[in-house]
Amino acid sequence: MRSNYWSCGDFADWIRGTKYPEYESSEGWVSIQKLAKATHPLRFWIAEELLDKLQDIVMFPSDTFYNIKYYVENRWVSRTHGLTAHTKDIKPGDWCDVGYRFLPCMFNELVDFVEVELAWSFIRWDDKAQYEKYNVPNFHWRSWRSKQAGLDYLDWASELVYENKDKTHYDLSPQALAAIEMKTLYLWWTEEYPKRKDPIDESGLGDFYNYEEEKYGTMFNNNRTKEEEEKSLKLLLLSNAIEVAQEQEDEDMMIRLIKVRHHMWT
């Protein structure tokens, strides 16, 4: 994979006779290129076309190596051809119905996107100090992972703004809003979701069953007192309500993740 393109460097600017800006809107780029081509047609062709062809020839060996490397990585390491669940969520060899695979598979992919793809995007163009800060190895697959680098990227992206149509103030960009949402979803899955209790335990129904088994030697017996029957029903209804609330939260979070999916690329 190339770290730069010859047609975008200072040498290309010198050949072209027109210096390209570091940043510009899509409309601005069109105007600049039209002006450069009209001013020096031959020099524009050399800078834009010939340099790219020469680079293709010179970089062929390294490009071939990286193409093979990333094919192997995509096929067998990061397996970008499919959604995968972490082994802590679905153990290999265990049966899991389709409806229960969606949540872990979707959010495991979000975790990988933040900790792998965004983390790498955050440091790949920076200086050596960034590599040392995040302990990046000299040679690694794209599966190199850094939670902190991924979150730092989202914090940076969360502050990107653009001038509104009236040019009176700056609004958060769509990229910033998506970054804020992705961080919220990421933290929910990695920090809040693991703390969730089983509905039976959270409602106290589990403790009641333990009490019943200790007192009667079994659960669901016919020797309950009226008070125990009433308590059992109350705790059962509470447990069911907690389960419904948790499933609704899961569904809401999956929908939010689906809505932000078009911003999940690097």
Q: Would 170 be classed as within a structural domain?
A: no
Contact present, 18 and 29 (Cβ < 8 Å): no
CA distances in angstroms from 249 to 20, 99, 258, listed in the order given: 49, 15, 14
The two three-digit tokens of residue 187, written as one number: 């933290």
From 25, 41, 58, the end of a domain falls on 58
The parent domain of residue 46 ranges over 1-58
User: From the CB of residue 246, how many other CB atoms can be counted at a distance below 10 Å?
Assistant: 16
Q: Would 211 be classed as within a structural domain?
A: yes
Consecutive H or E run containing 172: strand 170-172
Please give the tally of structural domains in the chain.
2
DSSP letter for 163, please. Answer: E
Q: Would 34 be classed as within a structural domain?
A: yes
From 58, 73, 104, the end of a domain falls on 58
Q: Would 79 be classed as within a structural domain?
A: no
From 26, 58, 90, the end of a domain falls on 58
Q: Would 150 be classed as within a structural domain?
A: no
Q: Would 20 be classed as within a structural domain?
A: yes
- How confident is the prediction along the chain (266 residues), in pLDDT tens digits per residue? 344 688 888 899 999 998 888 777 778 888 999 999 999 999 999 999 999 999 999 988 888 887 887 677 767 766 666 687 888 899 988 888 999 999 999 999 999 999 999 998 888 776 666 777 888 876 665 678 899 999 999 999 999 988 776 767 788 999 999 999 999 999 999 999 999 999 999 999 999 999 988 888 887 777 889 999 999 999 999 999 999 999 999 999 999 999 999 999 98
Whole-model pTM above 0.75? no
Q: Would 237 be classed as within a structural domain?
A: yes
The two three-digit tokens of residue 80, written as one number: 């970008």
Q: Would 176 be classed as within a structural domain?
A: no
Instruction: Show Cβ contacts of residue 254 under 8 Å, excluding neighbours closer than 6 positions.
Output: 102, 103, 106
